[in-house]
Structure 1
Amino acid sequence: MFSSSSSLACKTFFSSSSLFKLPLQRFLLTFIRRMSSDSTQQCMFQLKLNPLTGNSEWVVIKEEEEEEVENAFLPKSHFSSTSYLDMLNDSPRNQAFRQAIEKTITKPCHVLDIGAGTGLLSMMAARTMLFYDEADKGMVSACESYLPMVKLMRKVLHLNGLEKKIRIFNKRSDELQVGVDLASRADVLVSEILDSELLGEGLIPTLQHAHEKLLVENPQTVPYRAITYGQLVESKYLWKLHDLHNNEAQVVDGLHLTPSGLETLICVKLQQYAMHCDAISEDIRLLSEPFKIFEFDFWKRPDSHGETELQISTITDGRVQAVVSWWVLQLDREGTIFYSTAPQWISSHNNSDVNWCDHWKQCVWFVPGLGVSVSKDEEVHLQAVHDDTSISYNLESGNQRAEPVLLDVNSRGYRLTLSPERIAMYGDREWRYTMFSAMRDALQGKVCRVCLVADDSVFLTILIAHLSTSSRVISLFPGLQEKGTQYLQSVANANGFSMDRVKVLGKKRTCLTMEDTDGEKVDLLVGEPFYYGSEGMLPWQSLRFWKARTMLDSVLSEDAIIMPCKGILKACAMSLPDLWKSRSYLTKIEGFNHSVVNATLGACGNDQDSHKGPCLPYFIWQCGEMKKLSEIVAVMEFDFSKPISQCFGKTKVVFDTTGLCHGFALWIDWVMDAKCSTVLSTGPDCRYYKQGVKLLSKPVAVGTNAVCSPGECYSAELDTSFNPSDGELTVNISFNNEKTNL
């Protein structure tokens, strides 16, 4: 049974059994046994990924070393990519919990905080009990399984003088035992173990165990209950994110990634996807009023399985292509304190303050295929089902029923699950035409006996086999591996090629020998670049292609074509007030000093050097309020005709719009051919890619030559360097207020 006692951030670390392979497991067991012989020593594990090789290694940090490494790049870089800072900057959330805790705790009692994080809710509970007589009879037990966060919590409690009022347990909540850890069952439960879907962090199993083993009968809880809501919508953009088969039917390149009869061979996972729906509100048509789906009471033991049947009346004609959902927390028993993750079109209708935050978004459930066609005032039957960690839907209207199409893996092929953005890209007519044209031009007039696909692009593998019937195609598929082989076998006939011309190595390696190529040199080396499972990483971490090209140098012919031939790092100055606020420096949160966590969490502000902040991956278009303040500039070039090497770049950015600069968006444009006639951009104008965002420590007022004010800066200089050993990009930024000569 899974029980969460920390935020989603810890799921990728030591407690996740999915990360372990047998040799690593043996090593860890040996190490733990050795460490356990000295009961005074403790350790934590950090998983370090080298994005240029795709390899990971465990780094062990002993307790006596933690003080030295606490502000080092490894823990800090991990913390800065989590949602801790964003959550702590969510003032409506913090205020709602504080008000509900003060209202709920009316006397000294035993309070249990599950998933305590920095200890904010624990401190609220402890402070509330200080106002009552016999406050010493109250106690707060804070449960947090993630050791680095426990270290931060201890610092926060000490800074606020509450370290003696709160007892910390560095355990998962389902490891706690009354009579061993806890002196008694708790009277009050305070917790915030919610994700955008509500259930994804293990809310149900955590509450089940708590009610069975840790809480008194009929306990008080904050929150008191949560209610999920939904709305039927039509959206061409959301449809493109999952229905590859019907989208590629509109493309005339002759390729079939999802042939007839194998419509769901490439698909997205059947789940809800967290998304800032306000950012695509112009692409959404509302087909129903909001409707209530599930209600979860925190004050009683929840069920693992639940179903509800709803009849929903449509408000206009259209095609139901998605269900947009959100939740509302009722934090107190009386129902006077609420917190909502509803989209802006709901919040503004209710005259609620619009609160942008990145840790909680709306969720989208894709209706399979083309969706369900409806007329105004038609009744749509919706079945909603939840298990321990997720919610799913089935829709039916008239004779139409939209439910997942299951694939018989044994008889009809292999299902390949990709991210929604990758699905949309593979179905995008313009993107496919660009790739088709670039590859056709490269193969035209040149005999390419051996073509090597260095990344996980099934599209390029099929495209080359389709365009050049005389070429042998070798695909590395470092992430897909055997999945890629099974997929190609399923679509070979539909695309007119034989598998005897296509070879998948099926191993995680980039250093090949002539034996792998059957004694022939590689004439064409290509990549999108795309690496399966790495879609959420920083743009320049796809320079793994450059690393692979370098390792493959010995098998390349002298005149081998390399596509893309180079990458160009681009940048644009941005106004991003919502994103910056969510990452800003913490002082007091509802009266509790949190300044000691800023360095570790990578906060902006407090006069820190601008280059010290982390560079994090975001979909710029989902970052709330945004505005471009400059033209796009080229910062640095990566030449793939040469082996990977350290690179430096320096460029001047001249502002062409007045505003407040919060940082710079950075991305890579992939130049496919030597003539630079075909360029694939991963910039903010394309919704399918994440960009790197370098936030400033303090926003800078900027102006233009034409419109100037005292104190405004008119240009900035970006000084960048790329380290080929670890794939890190360093960005230093300086501003000046001298006008630029036009």
Structure 2
Amino acid sequence: MTLAGTGPSAKPLIRPSPGLAACSTLGTGLLSMMAARAMTLRDTPTCHNNNGSVIACESYLPMVKLMRKVLRVNDMARSITVLNKRSDEVRVGVDIDSRADVLVSEILDSELLGEGLIPTLQHAHDMLLVENPVTVPYKAIVYGQLVESTYLWKLHDLYNNEAEISDGIHLVPAGLERIIGVKLQQHPMHCDAIKQEIKLLSEPFRIFEFNFGKRPESHGETAVRVKATGSGQVNAVISWWMLQLDDKGSIHYSTAPKWIALSGAGNWCDHWKQCVWFIPGKGVPLARDEEIFLCAAHGDTSISYQLEPHQPKSTGVDHNVKGGDFCLSLSPERIAIYGDAEWRLSVLNAIKAVLQRRAPSLCIIADDSIFLALLVAHLSIASHIMVLFPGLQDKGVHYLKAVADANGFSMDCIEFVRKKMANWTVHDTHKKAVDLLIAEPFYYGSDGMLPWQNLRFWNERTALDSLLSKDASIMPCKGLLKVCAMSLLDLWNSRRSLDKIEGFDHSVVNATLGACGDAADGGPCLPFFIWQCGEVKELSQIVTVMEFDFSRPISPCQGKAKVEFSERGICHGLVLWIDWVMDAENSIVVSTGPDQRYWKQGVKLLSTPVAAGFHGSADTSETSSLIVQTSFDPSNGELVIEHRPS
């Protein structure tokens, strides 16, 4: 029997003596079909007869239904049994007849362990597999490399970056160096995109090895002696993994960056990236040929690191936050934004301009911006400030209390309101009119959302309409929806419609999953850091397609713009973002476009790529421009994006 699995919801595929397989997503179905086909071959060493069974485990019912469609299309519905269960819910003698002798699995994330590889394998070896089973993959090896990078440093060390900025605002005051930080974890990232901003300080080194044929331990530690190949400041550990798929070591797959010369390395892949572990503060200085110890520890679902200049007595990694019990965890990009001198200056100037016109008696911070809260409290001592912190909640208030003295304000002037703004009355504002309503806008926990989902601010401004003073200041004043046509070959290919995969017809999934290509009905719109999208090229000038006016209550919006190609190439999609106009004079604009690497943009992929050319070109296959039309529906916050050749 063969078990197969891919992902946290369903776990692995297995194969007991007669033959069993279990999978967990669309990949589960593919692995199951590949296993069933392999079992029909006479030279399959693990299958002694053709009566072996393949069992696929999938806990997510919609995916089970889709998988069964794929099996029927490929005439394999009778060859594979699909269980609507996780593999750790499967019982021998109830769901399957006997233990499996083959395990086929793909339950890996960028870190390797994050989708539950270890507990899944533990249960499989304890309850579902024979002793010494055949496994695909055979084993996985985690590698690492020490690097210096100013960019990576800015993503986590707000204290030292802020020390170089003299604007009077102290998000990280002295003595509270770890009051704000990134979560202690490995952060997935396409490191090839910043190759020119990385200095390698060591050769790659092996960290952990996981043998899929053996029951893994829940905890493991190691200390790796690393010799420096150059001098510098170790800002991060970049890690990746390599799969050895067969026991002979002839088939490998690696998530290594392109600068590592390994078989299978270097292909852009959206679902598997490298991982970055940030070294605290400014990093650890290292001289050429100096040796240092990297202490690594893994649990059931994660791997952590610590650098030690000398041989450690224990390889355990200390995860305790020193210098205070409280730490506000933010994303690396948010840390970098708060430490960006240009961004801070833009916001500071906008607030100062508002306050110079009139000191507000009542100011509302509508989003999760701790920077705005500190800024207004610091600059306008006489104002009463109401903070909503819809995502941060009590964590935001706890943070403000910790840094109030260092920023010269009292918490007496700040009020935290839990009530939804849609239900506010004059009693909630103490019968005062709101003079200043501001946001960045930034909503905690919205890192994976499309840019226009930050128009939540417009909804909240609308809910407060009756409570605003006649001359209330709204910041930002408006939002400009920008668009640029781009070549996005790698990203488009990662979302293209499916046809034949390993000889199996998968076209039936396109309508359900959404895809690009000839068989697709419109391309998807997805949030991405464009700079991490592999091969990218701008093909047009940036144009404004729609405007959101926050001085008025929210309403449906429509926009239309002509996007003219300025470069030849293949256009795979439209990249959209919002530039926030902070002041009424339109002099201060905060852009969230592709050249600003700390924000995600929205990508509307085209069903069929367009050959971009110039006006008057003799090549009839080329298009000189596109007409882009957008419409915003405030009832659901959705943005409809349409395009056609002009």
Task: Give the structure-2-normalised TM-score.
Answer: 0.95
Instruction: Give the counterpart of 2:287 among 375, 387, 396.
Output: 375
Equivalence for 1:364:
276
Query: Does the 8 Å contact 1:289/1:315 carry over to 2?
Result: yes
Equivalence for 2:164:
250
Amino acid at match of 2:276: V
Per-residue deviation at 1:407? 4.0
Per-residue deviation at 1:449? 0.8
Amino acid at match of 2:334: R
Pair 239,613 (structure 1): closer, same or farther in 2 beyond 3 Å: same
**RMSD, aligned CA:** 2.4
Instruction: Give the counterpart of 1:498 among 397, 410, 413.
Output: 410
Per-residue deviation at 1:354? 3.1
Equivalence for 2:559:
649
Provide the rounded CA distance (Å) in 1 between the counterparts of 2:133 and 2:564.
Answer: 60
Output one character per residue of 1:392-433: Cα deviation in whole Å (capped at 9) or x when no partner: 001022699997674479xx4632111110000001111111
Equivalence for 2:19:
110
Instruction: Give the counterpart of 2:371 among 459, 465, 480.
Output: 459
Per-residue deviation at 1:613? 2.2
Instruction: Give the counterpart of 2:173 among 236, 239, 259.
Output: 259
Equivalent runs, 1:270-289 vs 2, <5 Å: 270-289=184-203
Query: Does the 8 Å contact 1:108/1:137 carry over to 2?
Result: no
Instruction: Give the counterpart of 1:599 among 497, 505, 511.
Output: 511
Equivalence for 1:716:
626
Output one character per residue of 1:222-255: Cα deviation in whole Å (capped at 9) or x when no partner: 0000000000000111111111111111111111
Amino acid at match of 1:334: K
Query: Does the 8 Å contact 2:295/2:317 carry over to 1?
Result: no
Instruction: Give the counterpart of 1:672 among 567, 582, 588.
Output: 582
Q: Do residues 7 (structure 1) and 10 (structure 2) align?
A: no
Unaligned runs of 5+ in 1: 16-96, 737-742
Query: Does the 8 Å contact 2:4/2:105 carry over to 1?
Result: no
For residue 444 of structure 1, give the secondary structure of its aligned residue in structure 2: helix
For residue 304 of structure 2, give the secondary structure of its aligned residue in structure 1: strand
Instruction: Give the counterpart of 2:249 among 335, 338, 342.
Output: 335
Equivalence for 2:463:
551
Provide the rounded CA distance (Å) in 2 between the counterparts of 1:194 and 1:584.
Answer: 22
Per-residue deviation at 1:115? 2.4
Provide the rounded CA distance (Å) in 1 between the counterparts of 2:464 and 2:345.
Answer: 28
Q: Do residues 726 (structure 1) and 636 (structure 2) align?
A: yes
Amino acid at match of 1:305: H
Output one character per residue of 1:469-507: Cα deviation in whole Å (capped at 9) or x when no partner: 211111111111111111111010000000001111134
Provide the rounded CA distance (Å) in 2 between the counterparts of 1:275 and 1:383.
Answer: 22
For residue 334 of structure 1, give the secondary structure of its aligned residue in structure 2: coil
Equivalence for 1:206:
120
Equivalent runs, 1:256-655 vs 2, <5 Å: 256-346=170-260, 349-350=261-262, 354-397=266-309, 406-407=320-321, 412=324, 414-609=326-521, 612-655=522-565
Query: Does the 8 Å contact 1:482/1:506 carry over to 2?
Result: no
Unaligned runs of 5+ in 2: none
Aligned residues: 637
Provide the rounded CA distance (Å) in 2 between the counterparts of 1:708 and 1:655.
Answer: 15
For residue 259 of structure 2, give the secondary structure of its aligned residue in structure 1: helix
Output one character per residue of 1:586-623: Cα deviation in whole Å (capped at 9) or x when no partner: 100000000000111111012544xx222100100000
Equivalence for 2:38:
128
Provide the rounded CA distance (Å) in 1 between the counterparts of 2:288 and 2:552.
Answer: 61
Equivalence for 1:692:
602
Pair 378,665 (structure 1): closer, same or farther in 2 beyond 3 Å: same
Per-residue deviation at 1:315? 0.5
Equivalence for 2:146:
232
Q: Which has the higher contact order (CA 8 A, sep 6+)?
A: 1
Pair 4,472 (structure 1): closer, same or farther in 2 beyond 3 Å: farther
Query: Does the 8 Å contact 1:539/1:668 carry over to 2?
Result: yes
Provide the rounded CA distance (Å) in 2 between the counterparts of 1:447 and 1:399.
Answer: 59
Per-residue deviation at 1:353? 6.2
For residue 664 of structure 1, give the secondary structure of its aligned residue in structure 2: strand
Provide the rounded CA distance (Å) in 2 between the counterparts of 1:168 and 1:485.
Answer: 49
Output one character per residue of 1:61-82: Cα deviation in whole Å (capped at 9) or x when no partner: xxxxxxxxxxxxxxxxxxxxxx
Provide the rounded CA distance (Å) in 1 between the counterparts of 2:225 and 2:523.
Answer: 50
Provide the rounded CA distance (Å) in 2 between the counterparts of 1:399 and 1:184.
Answer: 48
Query: Does the 8 Å contact 1:108/1:129 carry over to 2?
Result: no
Amino acid at match of 2:26: G
Amino acid at match of 2:22: D
Q: Do residues 221 (structure 1) and 135 (structure 2) align?
A: yes
Pair 339,353 (structure 1): closer, same or farther in 2 beyond 3 Å: closer
Output one character per residue of 1:89-140: Cα deviation in whole Å (capped at 9) or x when no partner: xxxxxxxx9xxx9xx99x9841333425350011001111223398541110
Equivalence for 1:67:
none
For residue 137 of structure 1, give the secondary structure of its aligned residue in structure 2: coil
For residue 111 of structure 1, give the secondary structure of its aligned residue in structure 2: coil
For residue 412 of structure 2, give the secondary structure of its aligned residue in structure 1: helix
Provide the rounded CA distance (Å) in 2 between the counterparts of 1:399 and 1:236.
Answer: 28
Query: Does the 8 Å contact 1:478/1:507 carry over to 2?
Result: no
Per-residue deviation at 1:710? 2.7
Provide the rounded CA distance (Å) in 1 between the counterparts of 2:406 and 2:423.
Answer: 32
Provide the rounded CA distance (Å) in 2 between the counterparts of 1:242 and 1:114.
Answer: 37
Amino acid at match of 1:115: S
Equivalence for 2:569:
659
Provide the rounded CA distance (Å) in 2 between the counterparts of 1:128 and 1:329.
Answer: 20
Amino acid at match of 1:654: E
Query: Does the 8 Å contact 2:256/2:266 carry over to 1?
Result: no
Provide the rounded CA distance (Å) in 1 between the counterparts of 2:166 and 2:311.
Answer: 32
Amino acid at match of 1:238: L
Provide the rounded CA distance (Å) in 2 between the counterparts of 1:627 and 1:377.
Answer: 40
